[in-house]
Each structure stands twice: as C-alpha cells, then as structure tokens.
Amino acid sequence: MSPRLRDVRADFPILRQPSNGHRLVYLDSAATSQKPQAVIDAISAYYGGLNANVHRGGYDLAVRATDAYEEARASLAAFIGAPDPSGVIFVRGTTEGINLIASSLGALKLKRGDTIVVTAMEHHSNLIPWQLVAQARGAETVMVELTADGRIDLADFRRALERSPRIVAFTHVSNTLGTINPVAELVRLAHDAGAVAVVDGAQSAPHVPVDVKALDCDFYVLSGHKMLAPMGIGAVVGKPELLDAMPPYHGGGEMINVVKDTTATYAPLPQKFEAGTPNVEGAIALGAAIAYLRGLGMETVAAHERELVGHALEKLAAIEGMTIYGPMDERAGVISFTLADIHPHDLATILDHEGVAIRAGHHCTQPLMRRLNVSATARASFYVYNTEEDVDALVAALQKALTLFGLAHA
Amino acid sequence: MPDQPDRALQDLFQELILDHYRRPRNKGALEPHTHRIGLTNPSCGDELELDLVISGDTIADVRFSGRGCSISQASASMMTQLIKGKSVHEARALAARFNEMMHGSAEAARDKTLGEARSLVGVAKFPVRVKCALLGWNALEEGTKNSH
C-alpha cells in the first residue's frame, strides 16, 4: 500500500476562505489548480530579489536570474524524465505548446494529402491546432473513435495508422472522462507506423508520475497552472533531434544567432523556440511547484487521487438518477456526470450555493460530447488538497439538487 | 427543516419554471416559417433555434427547439406564449422589458405584461445565469431587427 498523503489543505491559503457561507470545496482542479504558499512566495521572492532579463545582462542580478530560470528548466526535465533539458521549451501553456508543435512540426513534415491522427477525446487545444495546420498544408485529420466506456478504441487506432500518418496526437489523461490512456503502447504503435507521437500531458503531469523517456513520446506538453504553478507558464518537452530539425515558431529577440538584413541564423535549443522575454517568474514558480510535488511524492499524489476517486465513484453511483461517464478503472481524478433531468448548469448553480465549485459544460471537448449524446456534463475534479469530506459535501449538495427539482425520496 | 436549500435557489427553480422546463410550450420546428434564428452559447453549449411566422406586422406563430438548462428552456417557452399573436413592435417591447428585469429593474418585475416570465425575476440574483434566461429573447430580437 502506498504511503498516505499528509493533509496539505493548510498549505493553500485560498482554501481558508468561505464560499457562499460554506467551507469552500474546490472541485475544479482540471480547469486550474490552487497554489500552495511556497509557490506564491516564490513569485514574491523573484520580484523581491532576483528580477532581471535573462540571457542578456552580464551583471550579477541578470546572471542569478538566468541561473534560476535554467534551474527551473532542469528541474522540470528531471521531474518528467527528459534526459536533456535543452529539449524543454518554456511556453505559455499546453495550448501554445501544441500550436508551436503543429505549426513548426507541420512545416517540417506535412505535405498535401498527408494524414494527422487525433482521438475523439481530445481537448480543443489538441484538435484545433491540427485542423488549422491540416487546412494550411492540404493535409487531413482523422479522428479515432472511443469504446463505450470512454477509452481509445485500439482497433480503430490501428485502422487509422494504416493510413501512414505523419503525426499522431493524443492526450495522456482525458480532461472530461479522466481516462488514463496507455501512452507507451500508443506511442509504440505510432512509431511502428512511421509517425511522430505528440502527447497532451496537461492532465497527467499534475497527477501521475511521468517518465517521457520510458513513454518514448516525441513531444509531451504541459501547463504549469494545472500543477500548482501560476498561469502563463508551461512547456513543450521534445526530442532535441526533432526540435533541431524544425523551423522556429516565433521570430524575435533571444532566438537568433546572427541577424543580417534579409536572413538570420538561429540560436541553439532551447532558445531557438523562446523568442522574446520569457515568463521568468512563471518558470521559477513552476520550479517551486515541482519541488512541492516532489516533496509529496508523485506516487503518493496519484494514490491519494485514486482513493478519492474510488470513494467518489462509489458514493455518486449510489445516487438515484446518476449517470457517470468514462471508465470505472484506470481513471485519474476527474469524474463527469449528469443527474436525472437536471441540467449540468443548474447543478453547478445549486452546488455553488453550497460552497461546492464544479464545472458544467462541454469542457472544450465538443466532439466527445456529441459521442456521449449530451450537450454538457457536470465535472468534479480532484487534487492533492481534496479530502473525503469534500466528496461528502459534493454528495450532500447533489441531494439538495434532487430536492429542489422534486426528485428526492420522501 | 434546517437542511432545505435557501430561498434564492427555491425562487430560481420554482415549480412554474420547472414545469416549463419539463413540458416546454411551443417546442419543435415550425414549417413553413418566415424567420429562423439559431443562437448558441459557446461557453456552455446551450443551443436554441427560434422559428417565427411573421404575417404583416404580426407574429402569427412561433416555436423553439434546442437544448439547454432549465432557465434557458423555461424562459424561451414562456416567451413563445407571450409573443404569439402580438405585433413585432409589442414583442420587441416585451423583450426590452424582460431585459430590464434581468438587470435588476424592480419596475419591470412588476410589469404584468411579462406574464409567467415574471417568475424568472430571481435569475437576476445569479448574474452568470442571466445569459441563459436571455437566450430565447436575444433570438427574438435578432430575428426581428429588420421587421419593425
């Protein structure tokens, strides 16, 4: 049995405030996580003692800021098992990261008539960038279907690979269903078909141990704000030989070597993909978030969420009229559901009044919603600071919703 | 009954509203129609399509289809009851009145011409839900902006 996670609620100052007169029960970490004091302090410490532009000034402060920024890169590389920090490109978040890959890898690899494979559970941020680059380059996107319980249909995945796609892009963990995909296997199949494998790690990096070397994916993309760090920082973690071959994404300062009137040569990795002043504060705070997560232990974090989700699934399934979407095992801390004929937005309003913050809507997965034959679901998502008490508060608030809609048992 | 949900929620999901949600009036497509307006709320996925038959200056018939929350569906249902048979001008005046009520006007909330739609007055206390209540009315205003 894995070691139990210590009670970390006290580390998150935002959770001390009441919400609508109740204890705040924050169940929307799949949208963004709350921040521990250590991360908030890191931002303050950066501006209180370290702020200078990186990779430029020769003075002490600039050298120390650059060192701290590069340390954050190295700590992220180590956190997810990337052998070479030069393949870690800081970006604003997963959305920007996938746009970078689609645009730059697309320029390298895609010709008219080529195929890009995606799946029906992708967040719009791992779909629209591929649609855009496909349209721009005369290529085509093919969507892999899901099984009835919300996993990637491996037979359909293999069928899609028969088209010899140049690029296969899929998520590690579904932001709507919580499905944990067998990434290593999918990557192997993609490679066997000659494709580059791009993994959306936005919902996995915060929640489960990740080793990109073991997964062997060509690109892994993540967002800091979903893993205790601030908004506006994330990373593309790519194989350096591919990043070297790809053209730059944004042009500007910092990414150049020699600039002439009509041409330029570019900086080596990772600067080649980091035009302009980067989010130094965000990178350093991401480093602090990683240190915090390492202190808890990612195995322990994952075990805590497995236990919470197990508890929640059991309690939710016992509510009459409850429909739970997605697999009942191999699921991360995300549960999408609908309750009787109560629309998810009505549920969210009622739960909010009880201090329970959940998300209602399509969760930026409209193709998935169409396959589930719903326009929206309610979604509760969990993280390190959630407890069984939070699950119980969710269940009690759902009972109130049933009462309001005249559906409770007498 | 200490465990009862509070008053604001009870107002929001009162029986009349739930009745329109579960048994919407004038629901479905209208064929033939003179006007069809489709509106979506991209942030939440609600969809609504309003079909109108405007004859001369009169809304001779109206129906709506789509899916969404209790507030958007009940509001659209109540609206269709109110505007059927009214002139375009009158219907647009009701839409303006309803808008005022949603933005907190106590005077608009007392206006009996809004009929059953007055039951939606409690939505004004939930600012993020006002857009739900306005979806059908916005479709009406959009569809009739050149017809009056």
A233: pLDDT strictly greater than 60? yes
Q: Assess whether A49 and A128 both reside in one domain.
A: yes
**Mean pLDDT for chain A?**
96
Q: Assess whether A94 and A206 both reside in one domain.
A: yes
Q: Assess whether A340 and A247 both reside in one domain.
A: no
Q: Assess whether A219 and A266 both reside in one domain.
A: yes
Residue A410: inside a domain: no
**Do B4 and A403 make contact, defined as CB atoms within 8 angstroms?**
yes
Q: What is the pLDDT of residue B41?
A: 83
Largest CA distance in chain A: 80
**Do A346 and B13 make contact, defined as CB atoms within 8 angstroms?**
yes
Q: Which of B18, B43, B129 sits opposite A405 (nearest CB)?
A: B18
User: Contacts by A322-330 with C-beta closer than 8 Å and gap 24+?
Assistant: A325/A150, A325/A176, A325/A177, A325/A372, A325/A377, A326/A149, A326/A150, A326/A174, A326/A176, A326/A177, A326/A178, A326/A179, A327/A149, A327/A150, A327/A151, A327/A177, A327/A178, A327/A179, A328/A149, A330/A151, A330/A179, A330/A180
pTM for this one? 0.94
A385-404 pLDDT, tens digit each: 999 999 999 999 999 999 99
Q: Which of A264, A295, A326 is the last residue of a domain?
A: A295
A248-259 pLDDT, tens digit each: 999 999 999 999
Residue A332: inside a domain: yes
Q: Assess whether A251 and A114 both reside in one domain.
A: yes
Whose tokens are 């007498």? That residue is A410
Cα A174 to chain centroid, rounded: 9
> What is the radius of gyration, based on Cα positions, of chain A?
22
Q: Three-class SS of residue A238?
A: strand
Query: CA-to-CA distance for A30 and A11, rounded, in angstroms?
Result: 19
Query: CA-to-CA distance for B139 and A391, rounded, in angstroms?
Result: 39
Residue A381: inside a domain: yes
Once rounded to an integer, what is the mean pLDDT over residues A312-339? 96
Query: CA-to-CA distance for A18 and B87, rounded, in angstroms?
Result: 49
Whose tokens are 């195929």? That residue is A115
Q: Assess whether A203 and A126 both reside in one domain.
A: yes
Query: CA-to-CA distance for B34 and A251, rounded, in angstroms?
Result: 52
Domains, chain B, in order of start with CATH, read: 15-143 (3.90.1010.10)
Shortest distance, CA B13 to any CA of chain A (angstroms): 7
Q: Assess whether A308 and A340 both reside in one domain.
A: yes
A91-110 pLDDT, tens digit each: 999 999 999 999 999 999 99
Q: What is the pLDDT of residue A69?
A: 98
B71-130 pLDDT, tens digit each: 999 999 999 999 999 999 999 999 999 999 999 999 999 999 999 999 999 999 999 999
Q: Assess whether A60 and A123 both reside in one domain.
A: yes
Quick check: is A217 catalytic? no
Q: Which residues of A144-178 are buried (b: 16+ CB within 10 A; e: fewer)?
A: bebeeebbbbeebbeebbeeebbbbbbbbbbbbbb
Q: What is the CATH number of the domain that holds A192?
A: 3.40.640.10
Q: What is the CATH number of the domain that holds A312?
A: 3.90.1150.10
Domain that holds residue A105: 39-295
Residue A4: inside a domain: no
Residue A68 contacts residue A284 (beta carbons within 8 Å): yes
Plot region of A374 (φ>0 → left; ψ -120 to 50 → alpha; else → beta): beta
The CA–CA distances, whole Å, from A88 to A71, A73, A76, A229 equal: 12, 7, 8, 17
Q: Which of B9, B47, B129 sits opposite A404 (nearest CB)?
A: B9
Interhelix angle A388-404/A298-317, nearest 10 degrees: 30
Domain total of chain A: 2
* pLDDT grade for A2, boundaries at 50, 70 and 90: low
DSSP element (H, E) containing A144: strand A140-144
Shortest distance, CA A85 to any CA of chain B (angstroms): 37
A200 burial level (CB within 10 Å; 0-12, 13-18, 19+): buried
Q: Which residue has the higher pLDDT, B147 or A331?
A: A331
* pLDDT grade for B2, boundaries at 50, 70 and 90: very low
Q: Assess whether A117 and A174 both reside in one domain.
A: yes
A contacts of B123 (beta carbons < 8 Å): none
Residue A130: inside a domain: yes
A186-203 pLDDT, tens digit each: 999 999 999 999 999 999
Residue A59: inside a domain: yes
Residue A273: inside a domain: yes
Query: CA-to-CA distance for A129 and A229, rounded, in angstroms?
Result: 24
Q: What is the pLDDT of residue B1?
A: 39
A contacts of B24 (beta carbons < 8 Å): none
Q: Which of A295, A321, A341 is the last residue of a domain?
A: A295
Per cent of chain A over pLDDT 90 is 95
A290-299 pLDDT, tens digit each: 999 999 999 9
Residue A94 backbone dihedrals phi, psi, to 5 degrees: -60, -40
A contacts of B18 (beta carbons < 8 Å): 405-406
Q: Which of A353, A361, A362 sits opposite B9 (nearest CB)?
A: A353
Q: Assess whether A113 and A240 both reside in one domain.
A: yes
* Disruptive mutation site among A338, A341, A346 for chain B (greatest number of B CBs within 10 Å): A346
Once rounded to an integer, what is the mean pLDDT over residues A160-185? 98
Sequence-ordered list of residues with C-beta below 8 angstroms from that of A126, at least 6 positions apart, any chain: A94, A98, A118, A169, A170, A171, A198, A200
Plot region of A33 (φ>0 → left; ψ -120 to 50 → alpha; else → beta): beta
Once rounded to an integer, what is the mean pLDDT over residues A1-19? 88
Once rounded to an integer, what is the mean pLDDT over residues A361-387? 96
Q: What is the pLDDT of residue A410?
A: 53
Q: Assess whether A235 and A360 both reside in one domain.
A: no
Question: DSSP string of A146-198?
Answer: B-TTSSB-HHHHHHHHTT--SEEEEESB-TTT-BB--HHHHHHHHHHTT-EEE
Q: Which of A280, A295, A310 is the last residue of a domain?
A: A295
Q: Assess whether A79 and A150 both reside in one domain.
A: yes
A274: pLDDT strictly greater than 50? yes
> What is the radius of gyration, based on Cα positions, of chain B?
15
Residue A3: inside a domain: no
